[in-house]
Chains A and B, each alone.
Chain A
């Protein structure tokens, strides 16, 4: 039998029917809904007089535009009340279980989906959000869709797709101290550019990926869309199964044993073919920081900002735009640049392990004068777990704001934004113009780098931050 990749196996097991040479009807196992992109899809169902095909396959949460302030209710942030209210009414009307604002399970859809065991290895999972690939960290084929496709999945549990090309990125070797999953994926995007993944399903493999805990794998897969890949996958292994065991929507009892037996057959076969394969030597990776307005505008913390004059022709214009928007000049290093905001949150880096790393740096220190430092845990369960571990005290004592869960300052939601012209260092996924607010300037980095900048007030090489009391 021809050796198959992880992606090939999931694809093959979800083809309902081939419709044309390159068009396939694909079955969708699970579907996540949130309030920001689903309203028109429900209205579409109404127009057609249809009911959801499977409410058991459909999971809904209010996450994008909720207030993250303490004591919030669904309508605390009044500009979002209309669409949150529509979400509540639509889920009620169509019999879909909604995880509402103050539900103990609430959180960012891509954080709660793994956390609740909605995401499972080998499944197809879609959501009206481009960061759906996050769930690929557990070995699911997960991708973002638009609102028309949301309606289609609600109505039919299927989509018509072309088979994507495949790419495997092997992260080999061990990580230096101060280097995290976020640095790996930023480095990759910096080296290969934001177009490298277009039209592909990407598998991340290699010894460095195997050594990562699940939450870090989710961070890697999360940013697949930032280089054009609609999905990113990591083969499941014992780390995956340990993470999933006992989760609310994961199989249990005899089903669990049967499921794990199936999942063990998922990893790519030796000799499986990929349309492209790339090897990354992790020993070359230093802590990363973006300087521009595209995720490919990224450098190591101790490297100079590149000169557009030395770049490929088609990169020069965008690099000039980036430098002008960010108010930076070629040749300077990012180290020492003053910041106004430090944000730890988003579906990229807001899980318990991210908060633990940040707390390890913040403990015994204070947020620098003039810096607004905000932590938005990725979910209510993450928040509760962090509080049980005393992390909230560490952050509050240092002067961080300790918020409720939501998408928040990742993209100017729930009332949280960076004012015009101000500089933010952020654990999020996009440094696009205006992403954190009109004319806001965003630097993407790992939670460790954001925590270090929060306490020094400047972009800081995490490797140089002296140990407290050491």
Chain B
């Protein structure tokens, strides 16, 4: 997994609540490896029905086309389990979403891919919106967000999740270290519930 340490970049404000993963990447763009999911991210908002860009949408405006951070509303990434929502954000270039809360499956998927789902209260997220200088620094070492006017806003994240992101931990490899435990568990369980181990 790609580690997440420090990112400095443009923060795009999309302050809507309940942005679901199907809005981030509609299912029709998950079909083929030839589709650039970064281009199709937020497709229904970003493009008109004729395929032209919607000039009102934040990611179609300078400097937000180059955004690497997104500011959003509560319950970001609710809905479908599709990890493609995370792939789309990363492909676009966004490695951190700052929101008051996140969908649970989205959070897991983000953490597995080095995308930081950063939780801050709604009014603090709103205070990070700065049209004149939308550059933010997110520092996972120090657990702070730095603003252009010199503010430092602390955030919290579970220590194990922080370390996993900083190190780019491969959790599958971690589980494989416990293969003997898993095998012993399954052998004992097979005695208890033999029907689960046959087809």
Binding site for B on A (CB under 8 A): 16-17, 20, 23, 25, 27, 29-30, 36-37, 40, 44, 48, 54, 56-57, 64-65, 79-80, 82-83, 97, 120, 123, 128-130, 132, 144-149, 151-152, 155-160, 194-195, 198-199, 225, 228, 230, 249-252, 255, 259, 262, 294, 314, 317-318, 321, 411-413, 420, 430, 432-435, 438-439
A-B contact count (CB 8 A): 168
C-alpha gap A123/B197 in the complex (Å) = 12
Say whether A152 contacts B22, CB under 8 Å. no
C-alpha gap A434/B32 in the complex (Å) = 20
Say whether B33 contacts A82, CB under 8 Å. yes
Say whether A37 contacts B32, CB under 8 Å. no
C-alpha gap A20/B174 in the complex (Å) = 13
Could you say which residues of chain A place their CB within 8 Å of the CB of B199? Answer: 56, 97, 249
Say whether B44 contacts A130, CB under 8 Å. no
- Known contacts A194-B75, A228-B78; decide if A157 and B186 are in contact (CB<8 Å): yes
Could you say which residues of chain A place their CB within 8 Å of the CB of B174? Answer: 160
Can you identify 28 A-B contacts, CB atoms within 8 angstroms? A17-B178, A17-B181, A25-B182, A27-B186, A56-B199, A64-B27, A65-B27, A79-B31, A128-B81, A130-B80, A146-B81, A146-B109, A146-B112, A149-B108, A155-B176, A156-B176, A158-B175, A158-B182, A160-B175, A228-B75, A228-B78, A249-B199, A314-B122, A318-B17, A434-B26, A434-B44, A438-B43, A439-B49
Whether, in the assembled complex, B62 has its beta carbon less than 8 Å from a beta carbon of chain A, the answer is no
Say whether A148 contacts B81, CB under 8 Å. no
Give the bracket for the number of chain B residues in contact with chain A: 35 or more
Point out which of B23, B79, B122 has the most chain A C-beta atoms below 10 A from its C-beta.
B79
- Known contacts A56-B197, A130-B105, A259-B193; decide if A432 and B31 are in contact (CB<8 Å): no
C-alpha gap A40/B112 in the complex (Å) = 13
- Known contacts A83-B32, A195-B75, A228-B103; decide if A148 and B176 are in contact (CB<8 Å): no
Point out which of A132, A262, A432 has the most chain B C-beta atoms below 10 A from its C-beta.
A432
Whether, in the assembled complex, B135 has its beta carbon less than 8 Å from a beta carbon of chain A, the answer is no
Say whether B182 contacts A27, CB under 8 Å. yes
- CB closest residue in chain B, given A164: B104
- CB closest residue in chain B, given A162: B158
Point out which of B32, B80, B108 has the most chain A C-beta atoms below 10 A from its C-beta.
B80
Could you say which residues of chain B place their CB within 8 Å of the CB of A54? Answer: 197
Whether, in the assembled complex, B160 has its beta carbon less than 8 Å from a beta carbon of chain A, the answer is yes
Say whether A37 contacts B81, CB under 8 Å. yes
Say whether B23 contacts A434, CB under 8 Å. yes
Say whether B26 contacts A412, CB under 8 Å. yes
C-alpha gap A361/B109 in the complex (Å) = 43
19 further contact pairs, Cβ within 8 A, besides A56-B198, A144-B81, A318-B18: A27-B185, A27-B186, A65-B27, A82-B31, A97-B199, A128-B81, A130-B81, A145-B105, A147-B84, A151-B172, A152-B171, A157-B182, A160-B171, A194-B78, A250-B195, A251-B195, A262-B193, A420-B49, A430-B22
- CB closest residue in chain B, given A318: B17
- CB closest residue in chain A, given B198: A56
C-alpha gap A434/B22 in the complex (Å) = 8
Could you say which residues of chain B place their CB within 8 Å of the CB of A321? Answer: 16
Say whether B28 contacts A412, CB under 8 Å. yes
Q: Which 6 A-B pairs have the closest CB atoms?
A: A251-B195, A146-B109, A148-B112, A146-B83, A147-B83, A144-B81
